[in-house]
Amino acid sequence: MSKSNYSGEFKLSVLKYRHNHKLFYKETAEYFNIKNPSTIAHWNKKYEEGGFESLWGTVGRPKKNGDSDMPKDTNKPKKLDKSEREELIE
């Protein structure tokens, strides 16, 4: 089972619909066919704290510093220390 990925516009439309119709999270989730009503509660909290821009966040664990989507270049020659350079000269 995979997680659903909702756009920021969709999340905002769900929150507006809930507010305009004065619905519970469960009722709103059923209307929009969202499996877990707490998903909408989470969107609502994010929206209240950070506005529309906060609804565009990614799902999942944030990347650690230094993580990259780019593959590492393993073909680069490693730097030699002084003793290794001297050994190659001899």
Please tell me the number of Cα atoms within 13 Å of 37 on its side-chain side.
Answer: 10
Q: Is residue 52 very low, low, confident or very high in pLDDT (cuts 50, 70, 90)?
A: confident
Cα(64)–Cα(47) distance, integer angstroms:
25
User: Averaged over 1-22, what is the pLDDT?
Assistant: 88
The whole model's pTM is what?
Answer: 0.61
What does pLDDT average to over the chain? 81
Q: How far out from the chain centre does Cα 58 lie? A: 2
Query: Mind listing the pLDDT tens digit for each residue in 18-48?
Result: 999 999 999 999 999 999 999 999 999 999 9
User: Averaged over 58-66, what is the pLDDT?
Assistant: 64
pLDDT over 60 (residue 1):
no
